[in-house]
Amino acid sequence: MRLVFLGPSGSGKSTQAASLAARWRIPSLSTGDLLRDAMAKGRLETIAAHSDLGKQAQAQMEAGELVPDQLMVGLMRESFGAPATQHGWILDGFPRNLAQSQALDTLLQIMGQPYGQVVYFDVPENKLVDRMLKRGRQNDSEDLIRQRLQVYNEQTVPLIDFYRRRQCLVEIDGSLSPQEITDAISSVIKPLAIV
Ligand code: ADP
């Protein structure tokens, strides 16, 4: 079971990634968590193999920008090296632009592990902003939320068509309740996973 979860901040993909990963006993690789963990351990510079890129990353995260691709790809390469990922994974937050999706193809080719499907969480924009404001996470000002959405619209939205053309995109109505979304994903993904 190798899945990519695609969707904007506030679409609920992280919640679903965590609960489905637990159910299927595979790791959920959440880029936000991986980045915050690497930052707390002072490892960003090493992973990026470039000290300036590592230093920029924290400011970029705080500003709602994407961190450099080189850092992200290094982080993913490292994560895929963990034995726990041998039997499957859910990618939550990667790829987030076309360059990253190409880097993912290359990484997976090297590992001989193709991804199965890309699950796209579709949620209307006004609902997203509403949810995020209610979530009230520290530093989640409306400006920052709108900035993240703009970055998503510019850089990540092109991936929807990219994967749709590859015929591996599964679209989920992300405005449903968490339980309904879990059920919707399980019913689409499960039969394929058994094959
Ligand atoms: P959210 O889902 O609210 O956007 P995340 O925890 O997924 O939050 O990500 C937090 C921040 O980490 C992003 O705003 C971005 O700066 C950085 N980030 C996460 N994934 C990537 C990625 N694939 N490429 C570049 N930056 C990323």
Alpha carbons 186 and 109: distance in angstroms, whole number: 26
Q: At what angle do helices 178-194 and 13-24 cross, to 10 degrees?
A: 50
φ and ψ of 91, to 5 deg = -90, 120
CB 174 within 8 A of CB 11: yes
pLDDT of the residue at 55: 83
pLDDT of the residue at 191: 57
Q: Which residue is associated with the tokens 């193999």? A: 49
Residues touching ligand 1 (Cβ under 6 Å) are 9, 31-32, 35, 60-61, 64-67, 72, 93-94, 96, 100, 148
Q: Ligand 1, atom 8: nearest CA belongs to which residue? A: 32
Question: Of all atoms in ligand 1, which is nearest to the CA of residue 93?
Answer: 20
Mean pLDDT score of the chain: 91
pLDDT of the residue at 72: 96
pLDDT of the residue at 96: 98
134 CB neighbour count, 10 Å cutoff: 9
pTM above 0.75, yes or no: yes
CA angle 9, 10, 16 (to 5 degrees): 100
Residue 168 CA, chain-centre distance (Å), reads 16
Q: Which pair of tokens denotes residue 29?
A: 């690789």
Residue 77 parent element (H or E): helix 69-80
In single-letter form, the type of residue at position 3 comes to L
Query: How close is the Cα of 184 to the center of ligand 1, in Å?
Result: 25
pLDDT of the residue at 195: 37
Query: How close is the Cα of 31 to the center of ligand 1, in Å?
Result: 6
Q: Which pair of tokens denotes residue 4?
A: 């990519």
CB 5 within 8 A of CB 170: no
pLDDT of the residue at 132: 85
Question: Coil, helix or strand for 138?
Answer: coil
pLDDT tens figures, 100-121? 999 999 999 999 888 789 999 9
Query: How close is the Cα of 33 to the center of ligand 1, in Å?
Result: 9
pLDDT tens figures, 49-102? 887 888 899 899 989 999 999 999 999 999 999 999 998 999 999 999 999 999
To test ligand 1's pocket by mutation, which of 16, 29, 60, 61 has the most ligand atoms within 8 angstroms of CB? 61
pLDDT tens figures, 12-30? 999 999 999 999 999 999 9
Give percent of the chain with pLDDT exceeding 90. Answer: 70
